[in-house]
Each structure stands twice: as C-alpha cells, then as structure tokens.
C-alpha cells in the first residue's frame, strides 16, 4: 500500500530492538559501577549480570510485506520467490513483520467508503480482504516454516489520507463517532484474521507515519488533523480500539503506537505532556524505520540524535547503549 514500501525490510524489528535497549539502558539494575581502578582517573568497570532479565527481544523483521502480486499481476516465478524466501527467512532469520490490513471498501481502491453508518455493526461486504489473502498465500504460508511466526496486522488502518478519506468528514463533525469508526476498523482486521485463519495475532500496528512523513492522519482535501490535537487522537484511538477488542474477547493483541518517520519524531510524540499524561508514553512501542538519517529541528538535540543513528556491524551494541542513554534524557 501507499507509502509503506519505502524503507528497509528489517525496520520494525530493529526498532523493537532499540526499544528494548532503552529499557535496558535506563535501568539501574542492568549494570553496576565498581570502584575506579587505580590505573586511571574516572575509569569504571561495568559488569552485566546475565542472570537478570529486563527485556525480551521478539526478533527481527520487516515492514509491509510486499507480496509482489498486488495490485499488478504476479511478476515472480516460483523459483525466484523460493530463492528470495530462503535468503531472507532461512539465512537472515527474519521472524516478525507486518502482513497488512483489510481495506474498508466493497472492492478495491476505487470504491473507498464506510461499510455502513453504524460503527458497532461490521458489514463484512464493505471490507476488501484481497491484500491479506495474498499476504497469507505468498508471505505467511511460504515463510512460516522458516520461523516467520510473529507476523501481525495493521499500518494502513487507520489511514485517513489514502485508505479511508471519508473518516476526515466524520472526524470534523463528531470526534466520538470518529473514534468508534476507527476502533471498528481495528476490530474488523483482528476478527477477520481470527475468523478466517484461526489466529489472534500478537500485535496490531496502529497506523504508519500518522503525523510525519506520509502524514496518514491528515485530511486529504482540507489539510489539518481535525479539531482534536493529533497526538491526543492517537492516545484516544489506542484506548477506544483496545476497549473494543477486549469487549469482543480479544485478550492477546497488543498495539504498536507511535510509528513515525524517524525515531526522533516517534520519541517526541510519545513523551508525556501535562495535557496527554503518561498514557501516551506507556502505551507506545515506537517502531520506526531506523535506517533513515535523522535531522532534528531543535539544535540542542542534534548531538544526541546524531549519536542514535542506526549502527552497523560490530558497533551495534555500543551505539544502542548510547542511544538508550541519550534518548532517555530527551524525554525527561
């Protein structure tokens, strides 16, 4: 779908790794300082206790699946596809990633519309499952034998700018109804996969670059984000959609929130403010494309953010730790 193919395949899981590094880097229990050695002033010995567990890294993955058969005819032969799957999933070890979402439309991108006027009644004929059908056939079924087991839904739901432009009008008229309609989209995705394939998946990604980059929450006609602060909207969506899932018996699914264009933007959006409170930070897993250079607008953050760019090779662990220390201080 639009806007989601522009970054590297391992973006989401690398972001989860960085998210884990933040907790590890800011936890006082992960390392302790010993007495300075006599060989130099200010030197310390850092000891990591491997028996103390702070964070679990679920794995490594990719962004939107790219089933390569939608919306154009299939362009890969079976042999080519098998070679690609082998390299990415058996050799590299990718084991998590987005598999897409339903499109709220009776059929394709030319007929985008609300399924009905009642956000509490899902009209299944008003949702197009083609993308998920293809993702199941060409992604999940082929890659699951190699360990691709932590796949999840979302990213394009909600997407006001392209996938659901009719939501902008509802948002302008009635914020409460807007939240119910978005929650219906989330529920429809989770329920469709469970009803069709028998699985409640572990995660749901609430949007993609909602307020930066693609700006998927923007009104495509009038511009702007409606009468409510857009970050507050994401907090409210997480609460409303979460309650809707729980009400319908889905207890396993967790949300990824704050998936903005860069880790810097995601961090700033997820930091609590007096108006939004701590919910915005506590509910977020900031899964962002980490291979992109960060260009912060505020000069006082420039040094910290430069140090947090995606590391390569053997410097990975040390730079992750630097990122954890620096970004933790940016929120506080």
Which residues are registered as beta bridge partners of 154? 205
Cα(237)–Cα(242) distance, rounded to whole angstroms? 8
On the question of a cis peptide bond just before residue 236, with omega within 30 degrees of 0, the verdict is no
Domains of the chain, by residue range, sit at 105-288
Query: What per-residue confidence (pLDDT) applies to 73?
Result: 64
Q: Quick one: residue 5, left, alpha or beta (phi over 0 = left, psi -120 to 50 = alpha)?
A: alpha
Structure tokens belonging to residue 26: 């800011």
pLDDT means over runs of 10, the chain (332 residues): 39 35 35 46 83 82 63 73 90 90 92 96 96 89 93 87 95 97 97 97 90 90 92 92 96 87 76 46 32 31 34 40 41 36
Query: What per-residue confidence (pLDDT) applies to 68?
Result: 55
Cα(148)–Cα(65) distance, rounded to whole angstroms? 12
Query: What would the CATH number be for the domain defined by 105-288?
Result: 3.20.20
Pairing of strands 254-256, 96-98: unpaired
Q: Are 205 and 154 in contact (CB under 8 A)?
A: yes
Which ranges of 27-153 does DSSP label H, i.e. alpha helix? 78-85, 130-135, 141-143
C-alpha distances out from residue 209 to 2, 4, 11, 219, 266, Å: 12, 9, 13, 14, 9
Cα(297)–Cα(231) distance, rounded to whole angstroms? 19
Reference 329, options 293, 288, 309, 300; nearest CA is 300
Cα(226)–Cα(238) distance, rounded to whole angstroms? 17
DSSP states of 16-27: HHHHHHHHHHH-
Structure tokens belonging to residue 156: 């394009």
Reference 21, options 290, 291, 202; nearest CA is 290
| Chain length of the chain | 332
Q: Are 12 and 97 in contact (CB under 8 A)?
A: yes
DSSP states of 68-95: S-SSSPP---HHHHHHHHIIIIIIS---
Query: What per-residue confidence (pLDDT) applies to 76?
Result: 75
Q: Are 158 and 185 in contact (CB under 8 A)?
A: yes
Query: What per-residue confidence (pLDDT) applies to 182?
Result: 97
pTM for the full model? 0.68
């Amino acid at each position: 779908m639009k806007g989601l193919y522009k970054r590297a395949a391992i973006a989401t899981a690398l972001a989860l790794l960085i998210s884990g590094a933040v907790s590890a880097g800011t936890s006082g229990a992960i390392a302790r300082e010993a007495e300075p050695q006599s060989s130099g002033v200010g030197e310390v010995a850092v000891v990591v206790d491997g028996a103390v567990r702070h964070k679990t890294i679920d794995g490594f993955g990719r962004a939107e699946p790219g089933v390569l058969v939608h919306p154009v005819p299939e362009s890969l032969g079976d042999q080519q596809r098998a070679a690609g799957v082998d390299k990415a999933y058996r050799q590299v070890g990718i084991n998590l990633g987005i598999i897409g979402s339903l499109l709220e439309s009776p059929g394709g991108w030319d007929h985008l519309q609300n399924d009905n006027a009642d956000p509490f009644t899902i009209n299944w004929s008003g949702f197009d499952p083609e993308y998920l059908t293809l993702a199941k056939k060409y992604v999940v079924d082929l890659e699951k034998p190699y360990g691709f087991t932590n796949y999840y839904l979302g990213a394009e739901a909600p997407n006001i700018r392209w996938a659901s432009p009719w939501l902008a009008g509802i948002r302008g008229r009635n914020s409460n109804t807007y939240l119910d309609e978005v929650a219906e989209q989330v529920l429809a995705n989770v329920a469709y996969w469970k009803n069709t394939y028998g699985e409640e998946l572990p995660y749901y990604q609430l949007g993609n670059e909602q307020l930066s980059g693609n700006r998927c929450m923007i009104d495509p006609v009038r511009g702007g984000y409606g009468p409510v602060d857009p970050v507050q909207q994401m907090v409210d969506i997480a609460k409303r959609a979460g309650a809707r899932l729980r009400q319908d018996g889905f207890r396993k699914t967790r949300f990824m929130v704050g998936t903005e264009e860069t880790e810097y933007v995601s961090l700033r959006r997820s930091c609590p403010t007096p108006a939004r409170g701590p919910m915005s930070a506590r509910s977020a897993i900031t899964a962002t494309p980490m291979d992109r250079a960060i260009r912060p607008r505020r000069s006082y953050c420039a040094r910290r953010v430069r140090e947090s760019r995606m590391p390569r090779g053997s410097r990975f662990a040390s730079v992750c730790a630097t990122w954890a220390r620096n970004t933790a201080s940016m929120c506080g």
